[in-house]
Structure 1
Amino acid sequence: MEDRFSAITNLERDPKQAIFGVYDGHGGSRAAEFAAKNLCNNILGEIGSERNESDIDEAVKRGYLATDSEFLKEKDVKGGSCCVTALIKDGNLVVSNAGDCRAVLSVGGFAEALTSDHRPSRDDERNRIESSGGYVDKFNSVWRIQGSLAVSRGIGDAHLKRWVISEPETKTLRINPQHEFLILASDGLWEKVGNQEAVDIARPFCMGTDQNQKPLLACKKLVDLSVSRGSLDDISVMLIPLRRFI
C-alpha cells in the first residue's frame, strides 16, 4: 500500500477551515509519506505569508514546489507521488492536483470534476514533455514518459524531474448550499468507477441528519466496488461533507 492521506481541521481554531489531501505513491511509499507529512503544512505556510488573498493559487503552487524540492534533498530519494489537496478557508474551496488523483464535487447530485488528470496522453502534457526533449510512447495501451511513468506531474521522480513537474493546477470556488460533498481519491478508484457513479453511490450516505459514520461507509462502498471490478491498484477514498463549512 503506497497511498497516504492527511487531514488538518480547525485551522486557526476555526471549525470551518480545514485542509485535506490524498497521495498516491509509486516506486515505493516514501514520496507519498513525505507529501502527507509536509505538503499541507507547506501550503498553509505559504498562504500565511501571502498578503493578497487573490494570490492563493500562487501560494498553493509554492507549497507544492517547496515540498518537491525538500523531498528531492532527502537521502536515497526514490519514487514519487501524485497529490490532490482541498483547502477550505473563508467559505472558499481551493482544490489542487499534480498527477492523477482526482477531486469530484457533488453539486445537487451532479458530479463535477474539479481536477484534470495529468497523464502523458493529454495533448498539452505531451507537448510540454516533447518540447523539453523527452518522449512519450504507448505500451500495452498505456502512455508513458521515457517508456517509464504513466503520470506527468507529481512530487519526486528525481530521474524524470526534467519532465515530471510538481506544479499543480488549481481551481477555487465559493461553497454554496448546492455543494454537497467532495470526493478525493487515488486513481485506483477512478480507473474502475466513473465520476457520476461515485457521486450516486456516496450521496445516500451523505444526506440527512445522522451523518456520524455514514461518509466512512460511503468510502468503503466505493473501495469495495472498485475491487469487485478487478482493480489491483492501491485505492484511497476521502469524502468531505461541505455544508458544515458554509
Structure 2
Amino acid sequence: MAATCLARLARCSGSHVCRSGPVQMTSVPLSFQQDNHLQFTTFRRRLYTPSGQRQSNTRFDTDSSGRPTTWDSFGIWDNRIDEPILLPPSIRYGKPIPKVSLSKAGCASLIGQRKDNEDRFQVSQITDNILYFAVFDGHGGPEAADFCEKYMEKFIKDILAEESNLELVLTKAFLEVDQAFARHLRCSPNDAGMNAGTTATVALLRDSIELVVGSVGDSCAMLCRKGKALKLTVNHTPERKDEKDRIKRSGGFITWNSLGQPNVNGRLAMTRSIGDFDLKKTGVIAEPETKRVLLHHVHDSFLTLTTDGINFSMNSQEICNVINQCHDPKEAAQRISDQALHYGSEDNSTIIVVPFGAWGKHKSSDTSFSFSRSFVSSGRWA
C-alpha cells in the first residue's frame, strides 16, 4: 500500500481529486508547496462539508472525507507527532518517511550529587538533510567535554564536504577532535585540563532514515524498536576482553577499586575516550566504534543518547518502558533524568530523546523495574 501512496504523491501536483457518493462533492485542486531548504513537501486541501467550507492542515486526505490521516494509513503509526512526509527520500526508499524534527526532541541534564555538571549535549541540523545529536560525559574536569561540544560539529561538517560515508565521517571526526584537543592543551598557559577526558556518543541522521552512531567510553545510544530496547553502542571498559587485551599489549595494566570496578592503570574506568593523554601510550584510544541502521518508522519509536549517570541506575529496557508511557519526548527526557536520581544515581544525568514514526504506538501501562539495581556511584576515578 505504501508504494501505491508514494506513486500518488509523485503525480499529485496540479491534479484534481473527485469522489462520487450519496453526497455530491465538488472537485478541488490539490496544491503542494515545497521548501527547497528543508527538502520536504506539505499538502493543503480545501474540504467541503455539509456544514460549510473549512481548511484542512492534514498532509493527506486519501478519500476526501475530511477525516485527519495518521501515519498508520500508510503502514506507519503516528497520531501525536504531526510532521510532513519527506517526499524525495520516500520515493528513493519506496516507503513513506516522516520528517524527524529537532523541535520535537527532548533533552535534560541534571547535576545530581556532584559539585559540577561535566556532562554536555548538543542537537543541531548540520546540513539540509543531516541531523546531529551528541552527549559528552567529562571526567577530570570539564575541558575535554567543553572542547567536544564546541568543535565536534565543525569537524563533522568539514569532513562531510569530502566524505559521504557517515561511519567514516564519525571515525575521522573523533580522531581529529582528539588531536585538536591535544594541540589546544599544549598551547594552554597552565596545566588545566591535562588529565581531562570525556566520553563521546554522536548520532547522525540522514534523510530521517539512515542512522549512524559512533561512540567512545560508556555513554550509550539505544533505539526503541517494537517496544524493545535495541542497544546501538557497547561500553568500552576493561571488562571487555578485546579492550583489556589492547591495554595489556600497549603496556598498561588493569586494577580493581574497592567497589569492584576495573580501571586502566588504576585511574580510568574506560578504555576509549577523547583526551586522557597520559594514558594514550597504554592503549586508551579515541577511535570510535560505529554502527549504521536504517530506521523502520512503522516499528521504531525513538532514539536515546544517555550518559552513565542514567545507565548505571536504569537498564535499557527500563528506560524504554518509562519513555513509552510519556506524552512527548520533552516530558520523557525530564522523567528519565529524575528517575535516575530517585534510584540513587549520584552522577550527572543527561539524556536526549528523538521521536520517530512509531512514537506512541507501544505505549503501555506496564512497568517492570529491577529491584536489584545498584546504588553504587558511577565514578570514573579509583
For residue 59 of structure 1, report the CA deviation from its aligned partner: 2.1
Query: For 1:1-246, what aligned pairs fall within 5 Å after superposition?
Result: 1-9=117-125, 11-14=126-129, 17-50=130-163, 53=164, 55-74=165-184, 75=188, 76=191, 77-78=193-194, 79-90=196-207, 91-140=209-258, 141-162=260-281, 163-177=283-297, 178-205=299-326, 214-243=328-357
Give the secondary-structure state (helix, strand or coil) at the position aligned to 2:320.
helix
Amino acid at match of 1:189: I
Partner deviation per Cα, 1:107-160 (whole Å, 9 max, x = no partner): 011000000001111111000100111111111211000000001111101111
Residue type at the aligned position of 2:319? A
SS in 2 for 1:173: strand
Note the alpha carbon deviations across 1:165-185, whole angstroms, 9 max, x for none: 100000001111111100101
Displacement of 1:12: 2.9
1:73-123 alpha-carbon deviations (Å, 9 max, x no partner) = 112333000010110013200011000000011001100000000111111
* Cα separation, 1, equivalents of 2:202 and 2:127: 18
Alpha-carbon distance between aligned partners in 2 of 1:56 and 1:184, rounded to the nearest angstrom: 18
Other structure's SS at 1:152 match? coil
Are 2:166 and 2:204, in contact at CA under 8 Å, matched by a contact in 1? no
Task: Specify every segment of 5 or more residues in structure 2 that has no aligned partner in the other structure, as ranges.
Answer: 1-116, 359-382
User: Please, which moves more after superposition, 216-225 or 182-191?
Assistant: 216-225
- Aligned 8 A contact 1:20 1:40 in 2: no
**Relative contact order: is structure 1 or structure 2 higher (C-alpha 8 Å, sep ≥ 6)?**
1
Q: Provide the rounded CA distance (Å) in 1 between the counterparts of 2:300 and 2:131.
A: 16
Query: Aligned letter for 2:127?
Result: E
Query: In 1, distance between residues paired with 2:356 and 2:159?
Result: 24
- Alignment-mate amino acid for residue 186 of structure 1: T
Q: Distance in 2 between matches of 1:159 and 1:59?
A: 26
Q: How many residues align?
A: 231
Letter in 2 for 1:219: A
C-alpha distance in structure 1 between counterparts of 2:309 and 2:302, whole Å: 20
For the Cα contact (< 8 Å) 1:47–1:60, is it kept in 2? no
Question: Which contiguous aligned blocks of 4+ residues in structure 1 show a shift greater than 4 angstroms?
Answer: none
C-alpha distance in 1 between matches for 2:205 and 2:157: 11
| Partner SS state of residue 236, structure 1 | strand
Report Cα offsets for 1:23-43 as digits up to 9, x if no partner: 000001110011111112212
CA distance in 1, matches of 2:137, 2:288: 15
Please tell me the residue identity of whatever aligns with 2:241: D
Task: Give the TM-score of the pair, scaled to structure 2.
Answer: 0.59
Looking at structure 2, the residues matched to 243 and 49 of structure 1 have their Cα atoms a distance apart, in angstroms, of: 31
TM-score (norm 1): 0.90
Q: Which amino acid aligns with 2:292?
A: T
One-letter amino acid of the counterpart of residue 340, structure 2: S
Deviates more, 1:171-180 or 1:37-46: 37-46
Offset of residue 60 of structure 1: 1.2
More helix by share: 1
In the alignment, the residues of structure 2 paired with residue 135 and residue 66 of structure 1 have an alpha-carbon distance, to the nearest angstrom, of 27
Percent of aligned positions with the same letter in both sequences? 33
SS, match of residue 147 in structure 1? coil
- Partner of 1:165, secondary structure, is coil
Which of the two has higher C-alpha Rg? 2
Letter in 2 for 1:85: V
3-state SS of paired residue (1:22): strand
Per the TM alignment, residue 216 of structure 1 is displaced from its structure 2 partner at its CA by 1.5
SS at match of 2:248: helix
